[in-house]
Amino acid sequence: MSEFDICVLGGGPGGYAAALYAASAGLKVAIVEKDTFGGTCLNRGCIPAKGLLQAAEVYRNVQHADGFGFRLPKGETTVDWPAVNKRKSGVVNQLVKGLEGLIKKRKIEMVRGFGTMNADGKIVVDDRVIDAEHVIIVSGSVPKWFPGMEPGPRVITSDQATNSTWETLPKSIAVIGGGVIGVEFASVFVDLGVDTTLLEYLPNPVLPIGADQEVAAHVAKSLKKRGLKAIGGAKVGRLTDNGSSVTVPYEVKGKEQTLEVEQVLVAVGRRPLSEDQGFAEAGVQLDDRGFIEVDTATMRTTRDKVYAVGDVVNTPGLAHVAYAEAIVAVRHILGEDPVPVDYGKVPWIVYAHPEIAWSGMTEEQAKEAGIDYEVRKHPWPGNGRSMIVGETEGMIKILARPNDGPIIGFHLCGPWASELMNGGYYAVNWEATPSEVAHLIHAHPSLSEIIGETMITFSGRSLHG
């Protein structure tokens, strides 16, 4: 008999989810982590980034308090950046402490150190070989950059941006990359008064991949209105750190240009962390980009009794996807019949201002696939609660098969899109029809009313729209 039923390699969302779920099912579990439990999401990514976005929202609301009847002294509201980071770090530390407490409560053995895999498919930490029947690899990912963009004192990745030691915010910053990470940080910086330029290689500079482009355009319009300089089709060259500034050369349509800023944030994506850990040597197949290859129905790798989940797998790099994959892996180990993750319908959220969230197909994807569909849209200004909140930018957009067929795409941009989209996620995954959702009651006044009213319009009738 092995000492453990499962050894989990990595303490990020997929790792601690696998460990906690397995322990709750009565399995004996060890979890290996070289750094702080919680991984990138809790310590350097999702949680601290959203903490900064919340701070930016508070600051933005203070600047517009006069619209609600509050008179504040002009020019006296300043950003105390160390205090912002202290609050953010307090949230992170509390969550890490709670997570470690829960792991101990479930009697999961926490092994500190850098884990590698030996030829027998066992995890090794220092001189200890962890004897486990099954292994779940959750080694995660790290920020990537291109040659000439290496991190330094004035060139940072998202990891450093969420753990900044700056005493004050930079006066100017260039964000390279218009994906989810780049757009969220651009939203933070521009709202806190930093002169912010976003440089994106693809023609559409804001969320060019993944999001429905009509809906993403609302985020772009709002950011530009608030002062963001967003430049699409920008091929960025080698950065030069001048000591007190950074020179950023870029080319747009064959024209060479330069930008001088105090800081540069490189947000061109993340890469799997799979090198130097013995996976390939142990018979775990990796693709040419370093992702571990798995059977997504079970999350099994090419090595017997070895599974992989999370960012180290070529699936959507989202913490909640890692949670779901962890459950699939553990249920398969338990001999159950897990329901695989439907990656085409997972919920996506960008926590910029305004927020954007979606599940299912975009209109671009539906057209490319040659799928017949109907589309209905609804703007926020007709919603009473959005006017009360003071957030009327954005829209809802729903795609469904013709003649009251199943809903295939749900897209929302505006206030609390991150929370509202769950109803749309259920509708897409349960293949609900617009009429089935339309007859359900949405409370008044509420932001969620926009969902029900848009569903009604598929019938050719409407209320306020």
179 is in an annotated binding site: yes
Q: What average pLDDT does this structure show over 188-207?
A: 97
User: How does pLDDT run across 65-124, given as a tens digit for each residue?
Assistant: 999 999 888 777 899 999 999 999 999 999 999 999 999 999 999 999 999 999 999 999
Q: Class for domain 143-267, per CATH? A: alpha beta
Helices and strands (DSSP H and E) totals, the chain? 13, 24
CA separation for the pair 77, 224 (Å, rounded) = 22
Mean pLDDT confidence for 269-281: 96
Largest Cα–Cα distance of the chain, in whole Å? 71
Residue 307 to residue 322: CA distance in whole angstroms: 12
Q: DSSP letter string over 95-150? A: HHHHHHHHHHHTTPEEEES-EEE-TTS-EEETTEEE-EEEEEE---EEE---TT--
The phi and psi torsions of 139 (rounded to 5 degrees) equal -80, -10
Q: Tell me whether residue 115 is annotated as binding.
A: yes
* Active site (annotated) includes residue 64: no
**pLDDT for 237 beyond 80:** yes
pLDDT score, position 77: 85
CATH number of 2-139+272-332: 3.50.50.60
The CA distance from 135 to 131, in Å, is 10
Which pair of tokens denotes residue 290? Answer: 């370093």
Mean pLDDT of the residues in the chain? 96
Q: Taking residues 330-335, what's their average pLDDT?
A: 98
Q: What is residue 148's predicted lDDT score, i.e. its pLDDT?
A: 97
pLDDT for position 465: 67
Is the pLDDT score of 176 beyond 70?
Answer: yes
**Candidates 64, 439, 444, 464; catalytic one:** 444
Q: Is 50 annotated as a binding residue?
A: yes
Q: Which secondary-structure segment (H or E) carries 62?
A: helix 46-63
Distance, in Å, from the CA atom of 55 to the CA atom of 50, rounded to the nearest integer, reads 9
Task: Look at residue 387 and tell me whether its pLDDT is greater than 90.
Answer: yes
Work out the average pLDDT over 192-217. Answer: 97
Cα gap 407→361, rounded to integer Å: 10
**What angle (nearest 5°) sits at the alpha carbon of residue 203, between those of residues 199 and 206?**
55
In this prediction, residue 464 carries a pLDDT of 82
The answer to whether 182 is a known ligand-binding residue is yes
Class of domain 353-456: alpha beta
- pLDDT, residue 73, reads 82
Q: 306 labelled as ligand-binding?
A: no
> Is 224 annotated as contributing to ligand binding?
no
- 349 belongs to an annotated ligand binding site: no
Q: Looking at residues 161-190, what average pLDDT do you find?
A: 95
| Rounded mean pLDDT, 259-287 | 97
Distance between CA 396 and CA 218 in Å, rounded? 11
**In the chain, where are the structural domains located?**
2-139+272-332, 143-267, 353-456
143-267 and 353-456 agree in CATH topology = no
Residue 290, marked binder? no
Model confidence pLDDT, tens digit, residues 132-168: 999 999 999 999 999 999 999 999 999 999 988 889 9
Say how far apart CA 378 and CA 388 lie, in whole Å: 18
What mean pLDDT do residues 360-383 have? 96
Q: For 438, phi and psi rounded to 5 degrees? A: -65, -30
Q: CA-CA-CA-CA torsion for 123, 124, 130, 131, nearest 10 degrees?
A: 60
Q: 450 a known binding residue?
A: no
**Residue 172: enclosing H or E segment and its boundaries?**
strand 172-176
